[in-house]
Amino acid sequence: AVVPGPGLLNAAGALSTAWACNAPVLVIAGQIWEHQYEKNIGALHEIPNQREMIAHIMKSATYIPQPEDAPGVIHEAFRHLLSGRPRPVEIEMTPDMLGRQADVSLLGPAARDASPAIDQDALEAAAKILGQAKYPVIMAGGGAMDAGEPLLALAETLQAPIILTPNAKGAVSDREPYTMSLLGGHKIWAKADAVLAVGTRFDRALLDWGIDGMKVVRIDVDAEEFGKVQQPDAAILADASQGLSALVDAVGKHNRSRESRVEEIASVREAVADELFEKGQVLAEIGTVLREELPDDGVLVGDVTQVAVYTDMGFPTYYPRTYVSSGFQGTLGYGYATSLGAQVGAPGRKVISVNGDGGFLYTQPEMATAKQHNIPVVAIVFDDGAFGNVKGIQRTRYGGREIASTLENPDFVKLADAFGMAGYRAETPEQLRAVLKEALAVDAPA
């Protein structure tokens, strides 16, 4: 819940991230007083057309004019949150309305809209394309997060690598032999003659890698995704689990014989690991420490920082929703605050927040929240005294002309102490391992 104007705008970065990551977030926003509403007179917190402004990153944006309207508006908001493609929903109300009383009829819990029946012609076309392909490949996005079982079953049937986007990490455990990161996917892409894109915007393939000479099958709960850039050869409108399960059943009668690709996929995964190590040994060593010290069901939240760029591609993930990224928004500074929410949502599990120094300072005041409510997130801050990505771009693209990318940072250990938290300093990956063990062993923020 936020006040109108600057309150809603302060939340906009988080809401655009929820939009990008298909997260069902309900935001309740205030409005100015009714006698000032839509007068554009410069009232406190007033923004002209506030609802229209925020609607661009909302699944719906609505207004409660009177108390008796509240049950219906709220019920409809939750229906939107539960149905179809999950995305944020906004409800607005004025201070006048909040102070009124009225007799209302409460409604029962909102129900999810019934899923449409799968088009059998589209299913048959998709099954034929994938079954007859010599080298089928699967690309899974965040929409496939709850579809791990049929996703793996289809990969085994087709002997198809599963390329997991960062938002899909953990949908299928990286202990299974079919998964690979986007880096691995790029290495095998030229071999593929058919691709199944499930629960993903598929932008990397459509715009960067190319799909010439490749048959494309898509499964998505949002029909608008199908027509972007290029029409697929077959499109199944369904949630990922429903569509994949149907496809597993349908592909059998069309499926050609293929040799196992498990060894090939393992070789690609090894090549990616070697490449990441060669390009950034320290990053790879840090990633190894994080993976070895965080329990398998622990949650890693990566802010926009070089370490998280590495973990997007090189951090093995074993369970759904144990790796959190900001998706295509690339929201600098979202990480620490998000990690507190992840910890509250997963009590009893370990949560690590990976931040750069610049990004951490965006939401550093939430240390007070962590301390007040004893939210035991371990925040790791990589301090290079700069907005490192920005400085790197300035150096490589603009002849080394640097501006506004160097930071004057506090002593982060002393900052932790000021909030009554344990603070540690590490200068090598092995020192990080030692202090991370200590921090994770204590049920308190650090």
Q: What do you get for the CA distance between the two ends of the chain, in Å? A: 27
Please answer whether residues 113 and 173 qualify as being in contact, where contact means their C-beta atoms are separated by less than 8 angstroms: no
pLDDT tens track for 85-113: 999 999 999 999 989 999 999 999 988 88
Cα 378–381–387 angle (5° rounding)? 150
The enclosing domain of 378 has a CATH number of: 3.40.50.970
Predicted local distance difference test score (pLDDT) of residue 211:
87
Whether 183 and 225 map to the same domain: the answer is: yes
Is the same domain home to 291 and 376? yes
- For the chain, give the percent of residues with pLDDT over 90: 93
- Strand duo 179-180 + 162-164: pairing: parallel
- Measured CA to CA, the distance from residue 235 to residue 33 in angstroms comes to 48
336 and 424, same structural domain?
yes
How far apart (Å, rounded) are the C-alpha atoms in residues 227 and 235? 10
Q: What is the mean pLDDT of residues 175-195?
A: 97
351/215 Cα distance (integer angstroms): 40
The last residue of a domain, from among 265, 291, 325: 265
Domain residue limits at 153: 120-265
Q: What is the pLDDT of residues 424-437, one digit of tens each?
A: 999 999 999 999 99
Q: Which residues on adjacent β-strands are paired with residue 382?
A: 356
Give the C-alpha separation, 395 to 215, whole Å: 41
Confidence of residue 218 (pLDDT cuts 50, 70, 90): very high
Residue 111 counted as domain residue: no
pLDDT of residue 116: 86
Name the pTM for this structure.
Answer: 0.94
The domain tally of the chain equals 3
Euclidean distance between CA atoms 217 and 195, whole angstroms: 6
| Domain match, 90 and 161 both | no
**Strands, DSSP E only, in 221-312?**
234-237, 299-302
SS3 236: strand
